[in-house]
Structure 1
């Protein structure tokens, strides 16, 4: 069994896999890391490998206490990946984006793939049908957009995510909801349309914490899977084992 751990900007997600089968998903805060990991290991005593992908400031030291019971692997740029990295600054490419690109390459062979990860930030990653990672884009996610409007203006309130009642809003709060939600939806559809205009044989993968909220609002047909990064982390580790 493998325990895959994704350390994000705001929270940690983990999943237990037996081969390619996802058995259970866990979500917890960074402050709960050691206790939560230990509880998972106690529940699934056959876990032999702990695989970590991190874009956060959580130190490797936080995982060291588990070395006596499982093999720990931190995914890095030195690992084997199933694509050619054409990024001009490959060492600055986030590990989470590399893992997503690997998962898309392995799960959807011989296709053009656009992976959209909608979390704290929204990342766009494109891998062509010849398994070349060509790059993508990064923009603020829903929460960051709400916070930016509040933090960088004098009077706009800090709101939490809510489905806008009208496209043309009639109050300040409704205007913020319409601008944040509809703005991001239009952005995502716009990115998709740009790629579809250039490439055929195309699949769009939407993942991340805001997957469910955004998926039903997009005009384009997508493959939505909020656990795609965890599944990709498991697949990336399996690929490493076979190719090292």
Structure 2
């Protein structure tokens, strides 16, 4: 059994894998519980990806004699990177692209990760990561409207509402949610000019707000990053 860890600024996700099969996952895990969970089911190998904690901190907290692969810019990958600054490329973007390439091989792919930011990444049918876009996420847009104005209220994401808001609250909700929807649909359409046979894969915590509203045919894979991390781990174990 392998474990994939995707650790963010506040919470982590854990995936338990039997070879390539995701047999269990847990989201919104705090650091102390992350360590306890892994200790309770000691795996054969671990892959660790984090934006907030170092690999040494993780190993020290874990206290187990288990091989841990740290996903870094130098980690060998089953995909290639055609990116000007690979050292600045987010591990979550690479993991999501790797997961998408495993699930949908030999296809041109647009991977959309709807998290704190919305990232759009293009992976061609040869498995080359070509780059993409980074856009403000849903909550970031709500926060910005409240923070940079004197009177607009702080609101939270909702299912995509009617286009015409009849109150200030409704207008803000429509502006953010329909604005994101229009952005996503527009960018998908522009990428289809690059590749008419493009397959679109969605992941990330805010996907649930939009998946039923998106008009282009899409695939929704909530645990895409964990699947990609496991593929990277298995690729490195096999080397």
TM-score range, shorter chain: over 0.9
1:3 matched to 2:29: no
CA offset at residue 70 of structure 1? 2.3
Q: Deviations over 1:116-159 (max 9, x none)?
A: 00000000110111222111000011111111111111111101
In the alignment, which residue of structure 2 is the partner of 1:70?
Answer: 66
Match of 2:52 in 1: 57
Counterpart in the other structure of 1:87? 83
2-structure distance, mates of 1:41, 1:204: 37
Per-residue CA shift, 1:80-133, capped at 9, x if unaligned? 112221111111111111111222222222110010000000001101112221
SS in 2 for 1:143: helix
- State the shift of 1:164 in Å: 4.9
- The change in CA–CA distance for 1:149 and 1:10 in structure 2 (over 3 A counts) is farther
Q: Quick check: 2:82–2:130 contact (8 Å CA) kept in 1?
A: yes
Partner of 2:196: 200
Q: What pairs with 1:57-136 in structure 2 (closer than 5 Å)?
A: 57-64=52-59, 65-136=61-132
> In 2, Cα distance between the equivalents of 1:204 and 1:28?
26
Per the TM alignment, residue 165 of structure 1 is displaced from its structure 2 partner at its CA by: 3.9
Partner of residue 17, structure 2: 17
SS in 1 for 2:200: strand
| TM-score (norm: length of structure 2) | 0.93
The number of aligned residues is 238
Three-state SS of the structure 1 residue aligned to 2:62 is coil
Q: Is the 8 A contact 1:112 1:200 kept in 2?
A: no
Q: Which runs of 5+ in 2 are unaligned?
A: none
Unaligned runs of 5+ in 1: none
Paired residues of 2:114 and 2:207 also in contact (CA < 8 A) = yes
What is the rounded CA distance, in whole Å, between the counterparts of 2:24 and 2:170 in structure 1? 37
Q: Residue deviations 1:191-225, cap 9 Å, x none?
A: 11001122133210000111222111111110001
1:168 to 154, 164, 171: 164
Q: Please state if 1:38 is matched with 2:18.
A: no
CA RMSD of aligned residues (A): 1.6
